[in-house]
Every structure is written in structure tokens, then in C-alpha cells.
Amino acid sequence: MTIQTAEIKGIPIPVSRVGLGTWAIGGWMWGGADDQASIATIRGTIERGINLIDTAPVYGFGHSEEIVGRALEGIRDRTVIATKMALQWDGGNITRNSSAARIRQEVEDSLRRLRTDRIDLYQVHWPDTTVPFEETAAALETLRRQGKILAIGVSNYTPAQMDAFASAAPLVAVQSPYNLFERGIEADVLPYARDKGLVVLAYGALCRGLLSGRMRSTTTFSGDDLRKADPKFQQPRFGEYLAAVDALSELARETYGKSVLALAVRWVLQQGPTIALWGARRPDQLAAIDEVFGWTISTADLDRIDALLGQHVRHPIGPEFMAPPLRTPKA
């Protein structure tokens, strides 16, 4: 099995078109994490030929980055680390902050936690409209020139925000929510990325596990797991999504001999200049990586998939519930 790769300008090695997402590895908003299992998952991912690891400081308030740093010791040069900045947390209260001063501090904290001297892809986590986009971009361009970061990306940005940003720094990638159930970027970000030559890191490729094939109407979540509040996981909507997953599973199995999880990731890879970010936290969840490459969903089946989604998901809803707020000005 050959793993497909993409070029990201500034990064010296080809990047696998599937990346490991490590939000759940931070524990926060996913009901906790088991560090030994997390480290085994990251190392297992690299052994399977996936070299891209996506993380962020806010995932467990530094914990995800620390675990990534520990897991990559000794194999760092074969890997591509994508991390982020510009979210601050005060006692668990998350707000956006992409000021130049904040970025200068965050890069040092991330390099230390990741146990590395450079970040391959450094992404602004959420647009902060209280700071000029040009200020944020210029701060990142300074870091790029210093060699602390190799390439610059943004996340959750609109095309207009990317235009402003790109006037002050070379933008090479955008990270956006994208999966079979969350298609909003097809109207704007995806065509923009194609036009500008940006790579799209599609996050939530499994729609927070909904497209894994593991979910049942009786599935429950524990602790601070965000799926307790995720509107897709609330009835009666949850039932609509599960019915769609059943129909997609049948198509994947009968036509291609694949799992619905492999179909979901494959689908993302066929939509343009995409890389699919797949969140996993246990080594047993990685087996399906081998099912993703080396086959293609036919054009007729892409249409059938859209028809199935329209038939079953009567009340679609997006991922907007995840957006963190802006800072409120101090009184």
C-alpha cells in the first residue's frame, strides 16, 4: 500500500495526505486521555507511514503538545509537526488572541513542549478580528525568517480574511472543518484554496467519530466529552445521522469491500487539495489507515452518496458550536 503525499511549500519532506489529529490525546473535551496509549498511537501512526501530526497548545492546555514531543523523540526528522497558536485560556475560559506579543510567547512555549527547534506548519487556530490580520501575519513571517517555523497556515478563516492575511505573509495552508456531513467549505474555502494553491487540512474527517461506524443510538459519552453537547449527537437528529451512516456503510461494504470509516476518509481525499485529519487516541483505532489508500470512489457513487445523505439527514447542522469567543474588551 502506497500512502499518498502532498507538497507543502517550505516543508522539506512530502507530507502524508492523512494526518493524526491529537485533540483527544490532550484529554480536554474528550473525557480524559491515557498517556501511554496516546504515545503508542502516535508512534504507531508514524510506523504505518503517516508522518503528519496535528496538535495545538489548547488541546489539554499544553498536554497534547507535550505528549507529541515525548512520542517523537528520536524520530522527529521523519515527521511533520503542525501546531497552532492564538487561543488563550484563563482558568479554562478560552478566547482568541492573535496579537504579535501573544504569538512571540506561544512559539517558545510550543517549541519547548514539542522538544524541537522548529515547527513545520504553524497555524492561527481561529480568526481574531480584534487584531489586524496583517499584524498576525507579519509576526508569523518574522518567525519563519528566523527559522522557528517552516510554513504558515490559518484555520477557520474565510477567503476575505485569508486575503488580508496573505498580504503580509506567504500563506500555504488552511485548516477547516470538512467531512461527509460538514460541507460548508465547498461554497468558499475549497474553491479559494484551489485557486490560490493552498493545501486544505480537513479537520473532523470522521465527524468526531460519527463516521467511524462505532456509534449506536445507545452510545453515551463521559466526563467533559464535547459530544455530550454536540448537536449532531442529540436525538432526533442523531438518529438521522446514524441512518445515513448505515446507508454509507452498506455502500462501502457492498461496492468496495471497505468500512464506512475508510469511505469517509477516502471521500475527503477526493474533494481537492486536501489532507484528512483523523483523530485517534488508541493504537487499535489505526488499523483502518491501511484501508484508505489504493482505491477510488467512482463518480457515480459520489452522486449516490450525496443522494443518500439528502434522503436521511433531514435536519443537517454544522460544527459552529465549537467556535471559541472573541475577547471582550476590559471595562
Classify residue 78 by its DSSP letter: G
Query: Distance (Å, rounded) from C-alpha 213 to C-alpha 248?
Result: 10
Say if residues 136 and 98 touch (Cβ distance below 8 Å): yes
CB of 316 to ligand NAP, least distance (A): 16
CB of 299 to ligand NAP, least distance (A): 25
Say if residues 215 and 237 touch (Cβ distance below 8 Å): no
Residues within the interface to ligand NAP (CB under 6 A): 21-24, 54, 125, 155-156, 175, 203-209, 212, 214, 261, 277-281, 285, 288
Of the residues 59, 178, 192, 241, which is catalytic? 59
Say if residues 198 and 172 touch (Cβ distance below 8 Å): yes
If the CB atoms of residues 222 and 299 are measured against ligand NAP, the closer one turns out to be 222
What is the residue type of 50?
Answer: I
If the CB atoms of residues 85 and 280 are measured against ligand NAP, the closer one turns out to be 280
Classify residue 182 by its DSSP letter: B
Cell of 123: 497555524
CB of 300 to ligand NAP, least distance (A): 26
CB of 138 to ligand NAP, least distance (A): 22
Classify residue 99 by its DSSP letter: -
- Look at phi and psi of residue 234 and say left if phi exceeds 0, alpha if psi is from -120 to 50, else beta: beta
If the CB atoms of residues 169 and 275 are measured against ligand NAP, the closer one turns out to be 275
What DSSP line would sit under 261-301, residue for residue? HHHHHHHHHTSSSEEEEEE--SGGGGGGGGGTSS----HHH
Q: 329, exposed or middle or buried, with CB in 10 Å at 0-12, 13-18, 19+?
A: exposed
> What is the three-class DSSP state of 120?
strand
If the CB atoms of residues 150 and 206 are measured against ligand NAP, the closer one turns out to be 206
Query: Distance (Å, rounded) from C-alpha 86 to C-alpha 66?
Result: 18
If the CB atoms of residues 131 and 261 are measured against ligand NAP, the closer one turns out to be 261
**Which of 204, 98, 230 is CA-nearest to residue 153?**
98
CB of 162 to ligand NAP, least distance (A): 14
Helices (H), the chain: 35-47, 63-71, 100-114, 133-146, 159-166, 189-196, 237-251, 260-269, 299-312
Query: Distance (Å, rounded) from C-alpha 268 to C-alpha 264?
Result: 7
CB of 207 to ligand NAP, least distance (A): 5
If the CB atoms of residues 217 and 299 are measured against ligand NAP, the closer one turns out to be 217
* Catalytic residue check, 178: no
Residues marked active site are found at 59
